[in-house]
Chains A and B, each alone.
Chain A
């Protein structure tokens, strides 16, 4: 059974950075694309971008370009998202979600990681 398991909740201070991990089990890591989605409290879903580990390429939504970095470690089957220069507006649940190859739908999701930015 394929699963995405994300790292635990984080509390960070404004101006700092946070890295969230997303590990896979039950599948072939290099076959997948990993998308990242942000959801602020009480708000909708916001796609941040994706990383394609087999190609080593990433796409970023314009809003997050320059402040967000996606990486992937094929040796540990884990994808990462780092956000720098955190502000209170970054308080949100961050999800990783899988898509297959060039598919445009997100068929498996991690459980979400709550990041709280507070002084």
Chain B
């Protein structure tokens, strides 16, 4: 089975900062990599699909890049509503795996 390594597991930042989260797959998954945001007590929301495509209604301060095994997710100009947990998700051989999650806190 494919392994996903997401890092860091947590980070602290201030409003207006930029942050980057990485996900590494154990083998080539092309661009089958997606990113979600989850707030406490709520279902996850899709932000980025196909590694770099912005889902409908998602602000442009969110972005993703990468292909193959290495992927990055960036939020620029952090807003108060962005403090949440973020997950990467890969698709390989009909199976889905989530990364371990990154908790983004206010510094």
Most B Cβ at <10 Å: residue of A45, A61, A103: A45
A62 contacts the other chain (Cβ, under 8 Å)?
A: yes
Residues of B within 8 A of A62 (CB): 1
A109 contacts the other chain (Cβ, under 8 Å)?
A: yes
B73 contacts the other chain (Cβ, under 8 Å)?
A: no
B contact face: mostly helix, strand, loop, or mixed:
strand
A32 to chain B, nearest CB (A): 14
> Residue on A with the closest CB to B1?
A62
Most A Cβ at <10 Å: residue of B44, B45, B96: B96
* A107 x B97 contact (CB < 8 A): no
Residues of B within 8 A of A53 (CB): none
A20 to B9 alpha-carbon distance, docked (Å): 31
> Residue on B with the closest CB to A61?
B95
How many B residues touch the partner, as a band? 20 to 34
Assuming the A-B contacts A62-B1, A95-B43, A111-B43, are A106 and B98 also in contact, with contact meaning beta carbons closer than 8 angstroms in the complex?
Answer: no
Chain B interface (Cβ < 8 Å from any Cβ of A):
1, 32, 34, 36, 38, 43-46, 49-50, 55, 87, 89, 91, 94-101
23 inter-chain pairs at a CB distance below 8 angstroms, sorted by A residue, are A37-B44, A37-B98, A44-B87, A44-B98, A44-B100, A45-B38, A45-B44, A45-B101, A46-B98, A59-B94, A59-B95, A61-B95, A61-B96, A95-B43, A97-B43, A97-B44, A104-B91, A105-B49, A106-B34, A106-B36, A106-B89, A109-B43, A112-B43
Known A-B contacts: A45-B101, A106-B36. Give 17 more (CB < 8 A). A37-B44, A37-B98, A44-B98, A44-B99, A45-B44, A45-B89, A46-B98, A47-B96, A62-B1, A95-B43, A104-B91, A105-B46, A105-B50, A107-B49, A107-B55, A109-B44, A110-B43
